[in-house]
Protein backbone atom coordinates (compact mmCIF):
# COMPACT_ATOMS: atom_id res chain seq x y z
CA UNK A 1 0.00 0.00 0.00
CA UNK A 2 2.76 2.47 0.97
CA UNK A 3 4.66 1.84 -2.28
CA UNK A 4 1.51 2.36 -4.36
CA UNK A 5 0.78 5.68 -2.65
CA UNK A 6 4.38 6.76 -3.07
CA UNK A 7 4.18 6.01 -6.77
CA UNK A 8 0.91 7.94 -7.07
CA UNK A 9 2.35 10.95 -5.26
CA UNK A 10 5.45 10.86 -7.47
CA UNK A 11 3.27 10.83 -10.60
CA UNK A 12 1.18 13.71 -9.29
CA UNK A 13 4.27 15.73 -8.46
CA UNK A 14 5.74 15.09 -11.91
CA UNK A 15 2.46 16.10 -13.53
CA UNK A 16 2.42 19.32 -11.51
CA UNK A 17 5.96 20.14 -12.63
CA UNK A 18 5.05 19.44 -16.25
CA UNK A 19 1.96 21.63 -15.96
CA UNK A 20 4.01 24.51 -14.55
CA UNK A 21 6.55 24.13 -17.34
CA UNK A 22 3.78 24.21 -19.93
CA UNK A 23 2.31 27.33 -18.33
CA UNK A 24 5.70 29.09 -18.36
CA UNK A 25 6.33 28.04 -21.96
CA UNK A 26 2.91 29.29 -23.03
CA UNK A 27 3.63 32.66 -21.40
CA UNK A 28 7.08 33.15 -22.92
CA UNK A 29 6.31 31.86 -26.42
CA UNK A 30 6.59 34.83 -28.78
CA UNK A 31 7.61 37.20 -25.97
CA UNK A 32 10.65 39.49 -25.78
CA UNK A 33 12.75 39.70 -22.61
CA UNK A 34 14.55 43.00 -22.11
CA UNK A 35 17.92 43.08 -20.33
CA UNK A 36 18.28 46.55 -18.82
CA UNK A 37 21.96 47.53 -18.42
CA UNK A 38 22.63 50.28 -15.89
CA UNK A 39 25.51 51.66 -17.95
CA UNK A 40 26.25 52.64 -21.54
CA UNK A 41 27.86 50.46 -24.17
CA UNK A 42 31.51 49.48 -24.29
CA UNK A 43 32.01 48.31 -20.69
CA UNK A 44 32.05 45.11 -18.69
CA UNK A 45 28.40 45.10 -17.59
CA UNK A 46 27.28 45.69 -21.16
CA UNK A 47 29.59 42.95 -22.46
CA UNK A 48 28.24 40.37 -20.00
CA UNK A 49 24.63 41.40 -20.73
CA UNK A 50 25.05 41.10 -24.49
CA UNK A 51 26.78 37.75 -24.12
CA UNK A 52 23.94 36.46 -21.94
CA UNK A 53 21.29 37.82 -24.31
CA UNK A 54 22.63 35.78 -27.23
CA UNK A 55 22.13 32.46 -25.41
CA UNK A 56 19.62 32.97 -22.57
CA UNK A 57 16.43 32.47 -24.59
CA UNK A 58 17.35 28.92 -25.59
CA UNK A 59 17.14 27.84 -21.95
CA UNK A 60 13.81 29.46 -21.08
CA UNK A 61 10.61 27.47 -21.75
CA UNK A 62 8.94 28.97 -24.81
CA UNK A 63 12.29 30.29 -26.12
CA UNK A 64 11.59 34.03 -26.00
CA UNK A 65 13.75 36.56 -27.81
CA UNK A 66 16.18 38.52 -25.62
CA UNK A 67 17.28 42.09 -26.33
CA UNK A 68 19.59 44.49 -24.48
CA UNK A 69 18.53 48.02 -23.58
CA UNK A 70 21.00 50.42 -21.97
CA UNK A 71 19.72 52.66 -19.19
CA UNK A 72 22.74 54.60 -17.93
CA UNK A 73 22.44 57.08 -15.10
CA UNK A 74 23.73 57.71 -11.58
CA UNK A 75 26.18 54.83 -11.62
CA UNK A 76 23.45 52.25 -12.28
CA UNK A 77 21.04 53.70 -9.70
CA UNK A 78 18.53 54.75 -12.35
CA UNK A 79 18.23 51.16 -13.59
CA UNK A 80 18.05 49.74 -10.05
CA UNK A 81 15.22 52.05 -9.00
CA UNK A 82 13.40 51.32 -12.26
CA UNK A 83 13.63 47.57 -11.70
CA UNK A 84 12.35 47.86 -8.16
CA UNK A 85 9.34 50.09 -8.71
CA UNK A 86 8.49 50.52 -12.40
CA UNK A 87 9.60 47.47 -14.40
CA UNK A 88 6.93 44.89 -15.30
CA UNK A 89 6.76 42.19 -12.64
CA UNK A 90 5.86 39.46 -15.13
CA UNK A 91 9.29 38.04 -15.96
CA UNK A 92 9.82 39.96 -19.22
CA UNK A 93 12.41 42.39 -17.81
CA UNK A 94 15.71 41.59 -16.13
CA UNK A 95 18.68 43.82 -15.39
CA UNK A 96 22.32 44.14 -14.48
CA UNK A 97 23.82 47.09 -12.66
CA UNK A 98 26.83 47.82 -10.51
CA UNK A 99 27.69 45.21 -7.92
CA UNK A 100 28.18 47.94 -5.30
CA UNK A 101 24.58 49.18 -5.23
CA UNK A 102 23.31 46.54 -2.75
CA UNK A 103 26.15 47.56 -0.42
CA UNK A 104 25.32 51.26 -0.76
CA UNK A 105 21.64 50.55 -0.16
CA UNK A 106 22.38 48.68 3.07
CA UNK A 107 24.90 51.26 4.24
CA UNK A 108 22.34 53.99 3.62
CA UNK A 109 24.85 56.36 2.06
CA UNK A 110 22.73 57.56 -0.85
CA UNK A 111 19.39 59.33 -0.64
CA UNK A 112 18.71 58.26 -4.23
CA UNK A 113 18.40 54.57 -3.34
CA UNK A 114 14.74 53.55 -3.55
CA UNK A 115 15.02 49.79 -3.17
CA UNK A 116 15.73 47.00 -0.72
CA UNK A 117 18.28 44.68 -2.41
CA UNK A 118 16.99 41.69 -0.45
CA UNK A 119 13.63 41.89 -2.23
CA UNK A 120 14.85 41.61 -5.81
CA UNK A 121 14.46 38.30 -7.63
CA UNK A 122 18.16 37.45 -8.00
CA UNK A 123 19.04 35.21 -10.94
CA UNK A 124 22.74 34.98 -10.13
CA UNK A 125 26.07 36.44 -11.19
CA UNK A 126 28.12 35.55 -14.24
CA UNK A 127 31.31 35.95 -12.25
CA UNK A 128 32.47 35.48 -8.67
CA UNK A 129 35.84 37.03 -9.61
CA UNK A 130 37.60 33.67 -9.58
CA UNK A 131 39.72 34.75 -12.57
CA UNK A 132 39.38 38.51 -12.36
CA UNK A 133 40.61 41.49 -10.38
CA UNK A 134 39.63 45.12 -9.92
CA UNK A 135 42.72 47.12 -10.79
CA UNK A 136 44.11 50.63 -10.67
CA UNK A 137 45.65 51.39 -14.05
CA UNK A 138 47.44 54.62 -14.97
CA UNK A 139 49.14 56.16 -17.96
CA UNK A 140 52.90 55.73 -18.26
CA UNK A 141 53.26 59.52 -17.98
CA UNK A 142 51.11 59.82 -14.81
CA UNK A 143 52.62 61.86 -11.94
CA UNK A 144 53.71 58.53 -10.50
CA UNK A 145 53.70 54.94 -11.66
CA UNK A 146 54.76 53.66 -8.24
CA UNK A 147 52.18 52.64 -5.65
CA UNK A 148 54.67 53.54 -2.92
CA UNK A 149 54.95 57.13 -4.18
CA UNK A 150 51.18 57.34 -4.71
CA UNK A 151 50.69 56.56 -0.99
CA UNK A 152 53.38 58.85 0.36
CA UNK A 153 51.99 61.76 2.44
CA UNK A 154 52.30 64.89 0.35
CA UNK A 155 53.21 62.81 -2.70
CA UNK A 156 51.84 63.24 -6.22
CA UNK A 157 48.09 62.98 -6.74
CA UNK A 158 46.58 60.64 -9.31
CA UNK A 159 43.56 62.04 -11.19
CA UNK A 160 41.13 59.21 -11.95
CA UNK A 161 38.06 59.18 -14.19
CA UNK A 162 34.70 57.81 -13.05
CA UNK A 163 31.06 57.72 -14.08
CA UNK A 164 29.17 58.77 -10.98
CA UNK A 165 28.78 58.40 -7.23
CA UNK A 166 27.81 54.85 -6.37
CA UNK A 167 29.82 53.33 -9.20
CA UNK A 168 32.94 51.30 -8.29
CA UNK A 169 35.13 53.72 -10.24
CA UNK A 170 34.09 56.46 -7.84
CA UNK A 171 33.77 54.64 -4.53
CA UNK A 172 36.72 52.23 -4.66
CA UNK A 173 39.28 55.07 -4.98
CA UNK A 174 37.65 56.65 -1.91
CA UNK A 175 38.17 53.37 -0.06
CA UNK A 176 41.79 53.25 -1.19
CA UNK A 177 42.38 56.81 -0.04
CA UNK A 178 41.04 56.00 3.42
CA UNK A 179 42.41 52.47 3.84
CA UNK A 180 45.92 52.74 2.39
CA UNK A 181 46.48 56.50 2.04
CA UNK A 182 46.29 56.70 -1.76
CA UNK A 183 46.70 60.26 -3.02
CA UNK A 184 43.85 60.50 -5.46
CA UNK A 185 41.41 62.97 -7.00
CA UNK A 186 38.31 61.74 -8.80
CA UNK A 187 36.79 63.37 -11.87
CA UNK A 188 33.28 61.94 -12.13
CA UNK A 189 30.48 62.50 -14.62
CA UNK A 190 31.75 60.48 -17.59
CA UNK A 191 28.78 58.72 -19.23
CA UNK A 192 30.32 55.27 -19.56
CA UNK A 193 33.47 53.15 -19.67
CA UNK A 194 34.21 54.00 -23.30
CA UNK A 195 34.25 57.71 -22.43
CA UNK A 196 36.69 57.15 -19.55
CA UNK A 197 38.99 55.08 -21.75
CA UNK A 198 38.99 57.89 -24.31
CA UNK A 199 39.75 60.42 -21.56
CA UNK A 200 42.75 58.32 -20.52
CA UNK A 201 44.00 58.10 -24.09
CA UNK A 202 43.68 61.88 -24.45
CA UNK A 203 45.46 62.51 -21.14
CA UNK A 204 42.43 64.19 -19.53
CA UNK A 205 42.86 61.88 -16.55
CA UNK A 206 45.82 59.84 -15.32
CA UNK A 207 43.89 56.59 -15.04
CA UNK A 208 40.97 54.76 -13.51
CA UNK A 209 39.94 51.69 -11.54
CA UNK A 210 38.39 48.96 -13.68
CA UNK A 211 37.96 45.20 -13.88
CA UNK A 212 40.88 43.35 -15.37
CA UNK A 213 38.56 41.36 -17.67
CA UNK A 214 37.22 44.63 -19.12
CA UNK A 215 40.78 45.63 -20.01
CA UNK A 216 41.44 42.23 -21.56
CA UNK A 217 38.29 42.57 -23.68
CA UNK A 218 38.33 46.24 -24.69
CA UNK A 219 41.95 47.46 -24.29
CA UNK A 220 44.22 44.37 -24.41
CA UNK A 221 47.00 46.47 -25.98
CA UNK A 222 47.29 48.44 -22.75
CA UNK A 223 48.40 45.29 -20.95
CA UNK A 224 51.20 44.54 -23.38
CA UNK A 225 54.82 45.70 -22.93
CA UNK A 226 55.05 49.24 -24.25
CA UNK A 227 51.27 49.63 -24.15
CA UNK A 228 51.53 53.01 -22.48
CA UNK A 229 49.75 51.98 -19.28
CA UNK A 230 50.70 50.37 -15.97
CA UNK A 231 48.67 48.43 -13.40
CA UNK A 232 49.58 49.70 -9.92
CA UNK A 233 47.22 47.85 -7.59
CA UNK A 234 44.62 45.09 -7.44
CA UNK A 235 41.45 45.03 -5.36
CA UNK A 236 39.01 42.21 -4.56
CA UNK A 237 41.77 39.60 -4.46
CA UNK A 238 43.02 37.72 -1.41
CA UNK A 239 46.05 36.70 -3.49
CA UNK A 240 47.45 38.31 -6.64
CA UNK A 241 45.88 37.42 -9.97
CA UNK A 242 48.18 35.01 -11.84
CA UNK A 243 48.66 37.56 -14.63
CA UNK A 244 49.54 40.26 -12.09
CA UNK A 245 51.89 38.44 -9.76
CA UNK A 246 54.08 41.52 -9.23
CA UNK A 247 51.16 43.89 -8.54
CA UNK A 248 50.30 44.22 -4.82
CA UNK A 249 46.83 43.58 -3.46
CA UNK A 250 45.09 46.19 -1.35
CA UNK A 251 44.83 43.68 1.51
CA UNK A 252 48.61 43.36 1.61
CA UNK A 253 48.94 47.12 2.08
CA UNK A 254 46.33 47.54 4.84
CA UNK A 255 48.17 48.28 8.08
CA UNK A 256 45.34 48.57 10.63
CA UNK A 257 42.45 46.40 11.73
CA UNK A 258 39.96 49.11 10.76
CA UNK A 259 41.45 49.34 7.28
CA UNK A 260 41.30 45.57 6.90
CA UNK A 261 37.65 45.46 7.96
CA UNK A 262 36.76 48.24 5.54
CA UNK A 263 38.49 46.47 2.67
CA UNK A 264 36.84 43.14 3.51
CA UNK A 265 33.39 44.76 3.52
CA UNK A 266 33.86 46.62 0.26
CA UNK A 267 35.30 43.56 -1.48
CA UNK A 268 32.23 41.42 -0.69
CA UNK A 269 30.20 42.68 -3.70
CA UNK A 270 32.82 41.19 -6.01
CA UNK A 271 31.56 37.73 -5.07
CA UNK A 272 28.56 38.79 -7.20
CA UNK A 273 30.65 40.75 -9.68
CA UNK A 274 28.23 40.80 -12.62
CA UNK A 275 24.79 40.29 -11.08
CA UNK A 276 21.52 39.76 -12.90
CA UNK A 277 18.10 40.18 -11.35
CA UNK A 278 14.41 40.60 -11.98
CA UNK A 279 11.93 42.80 -10.10
CA UNK A 280 10.45 41.70 -6.77
CA UNK A 281 7.26 39.65 -6.57
CA UNK A 282 7.52 37.72 -9.85
CA UNK A 283 5.16 34.76 -10.32
CA UNK A 284 7.09 31.95 -8.63
CA UNK A 285 7.08 29.61 -11.62
CA UNK A 286 8.58 32.28 -13.90
CA UNK A 287 11.13 33.28 -11.28
CA UNK A 288 12.26 29.67 -10.97
CA UNK A 289 12.40 29.30 -14.76
CA UNK A 290 14.59 32.40 -15.13
CA UNK A 291 16.90 31.30 -12.31
CA UNK A 292 17.27 27.82 -13.80
CA UNK A 293 17.84 29.25 -17.27
CA UNK A 294 20.54 31.59 -15.97
CA UNK A 295 22.57 28.69 -14.55
CA UNK A 296 21.91 26.51 -17.61
CA UNK A 297 23.14 29.29 -19.91
CA UNK A 298 26.43 29.45 -18.01
CA UNK A 299 26.96 25.73 -18.70
CA UNK A 300 26.10 26.07 -22.40
CA UNK A 301 29.15 25.15 -24.57
CA UNK A 302 28.30 27.85 -27.12
CA UNK A 303 28.07 30.48 -24.37
CA UNK A 304 31.34 29.33 -22.80
CA UNK A 305 33.13 29.31 -26.15
CA UNK A 306 32.06 32.88 -26.89
CA UNK A 307 32.98 34.01 -23.36
CA UNK A 308 36.46 32.53 -23.79
CA UNK A 309 36.94 34.43 -27.03
CA UNK A 310 35.93 37.65 -25.25
CA UNK A 311 38.24 36.76 -22.33
CA UNK A 312 35.45 37.22 -19.81
CA UNK A 313 35.64 35.49 -16.42
CA UNK A 314 32.81 32.96 -16.18
CA UNK A 315 32.58 31.65 -12.62
CA UNK A 316 28.81 31.77 -12.03
CA UNK A 317 26.88 31.73 -8.79
CA UNK A 318 23.13 31.29 -8.44
CA UNK A 319 20.52 33.64 -7.07
CA UNK A 320 20.53 32.09 -3.61
CA UNK A 321 24.28 32.64 -3.29
CA UNK A 322 23.95 36.27 -4.38
CA UNK A 323 21.34 36.76 -1.68
CA UNK A 324 23.64 35.15 0.91
CA UNK A 325 26.38 37.63 -0.04
CA UNK A 326 23.94 40.51 0.47
CA UNK A 327 23.00 39.10 3.87
CA UNK A 328 26.71 38.93 4.78
CA UNK A 329 26.99 42.62 3.96
CA UNK A 330 23.95 43.36 6.12
CA UNK A 331 25.53 41.41 9.00
CA UNK A 332 28.74 43.48 8.99
CA UNK A 333 29.62 45.14 12.29
CA UNK A 334 27.85 48.49 12.88
CA UNK A 335 31.22 50.18 13.41
CA UNK A 336 32.48 49.19 9.94
CA UNK A 337 29.18 50.12 8.30
CA UNK A 338 29.25 53.51 10.04
CA UNK A 339 32.86 54.03 8.94
CA UNK A 340 31.93 53.41 5.31
CA UNK A 341 28.80 55.57 5.61
CA UNK A 342 30.84 58.51 6.90
CA UNK A 343 33.49 58.01 4.25
CA UNK A 344 30.98 58.03 1.39
CA UNK A 345 29.08 60.98 2.89
CA UNK A 346 32.31 62.99 3.06
CA UNK A 347 33.09 62.06 -0.55
CA UNK A 348 29.66 63.17 -1.76
CA UNK A 349 30.01 66.39 0.16
CA UNK A 350 33.31 67.14 -1.53
CA UNK A 351 35.39 66.33 1.57
Q: Which residues contact 8 (CB under 8 A, 6 or more apart)?
A: none
Contacts of 331 (CB under 8 A, 6+ apart): none
Which letter, b or e, does each residue of 192-214 get, where b requires 16 or more Cβ atoms within 10 Å of its Cβ?
bbbbbbebbeeeebbbbbbbbbb
Mean per-residue pLDDT, 176-192: 93
Mean pLDDT of 12-16: 47
What is the distance between the alpha carbons of residues 96 and 351, in angstroms, rounded to a whole number? 30
Residues 6+ apart with CB under 8 A from 347: 165, 170, 171, 174
pLDDT of residue 8: 52
Nearest residue to 161 via CA among 223, 104, 210: 210
Q: In this predicted structure, what is the pLDDT of residue 14?
A: 45
pLDDT at 12 over 70: no
Q: Under DSSP, is residue 249 helix (H, G, I), strand (E, B) or coil?
A: strand
Cβ neighbours of 167 (radius 10 Å): 25
Q: What tens digit of pLDDT does each residue of 198-229 get?
A: 999 999 999 999 999 999 999 999 999 999 99
Return the DSSP state at 100.
T
Element holding 290 (H helix, E strand): helix 284-297
Supply the DSSP symbol for 145: -
Which whole number is the average pLDDT over 246-271? 95
Nearest Cα residue to 258 out of 332, 329, 168, 335: 335
Question: Could you give all domains of the chain from N- to C-terminal order, each with its CATH number?
Answer: 2-128+269-339 (3.40.190.150), 134-268 (3.40.190.10)
pTM of the model: 0.86
Q: What percent of the chain has pLDDT over 70?
A: 91
| C-alpha dist (Å) from residue 169 to 5, 98, 211, 255 | 60, 10, 10, 23
Q: Which helix (H) or strand (E) holds 107?
A: helix 101-107
Amino acid sequence: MDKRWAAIFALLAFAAIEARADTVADFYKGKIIRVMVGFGTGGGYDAYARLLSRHFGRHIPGNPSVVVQNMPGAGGLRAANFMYSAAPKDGTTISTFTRDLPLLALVGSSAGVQFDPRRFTWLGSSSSFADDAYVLIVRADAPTTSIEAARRPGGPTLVLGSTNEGAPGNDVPMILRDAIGLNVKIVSGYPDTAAIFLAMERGEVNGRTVTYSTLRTFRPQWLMPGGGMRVLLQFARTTPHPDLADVPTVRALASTEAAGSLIELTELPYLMAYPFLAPPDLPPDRAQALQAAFIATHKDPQFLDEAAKLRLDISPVGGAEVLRTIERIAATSPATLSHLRRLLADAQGGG
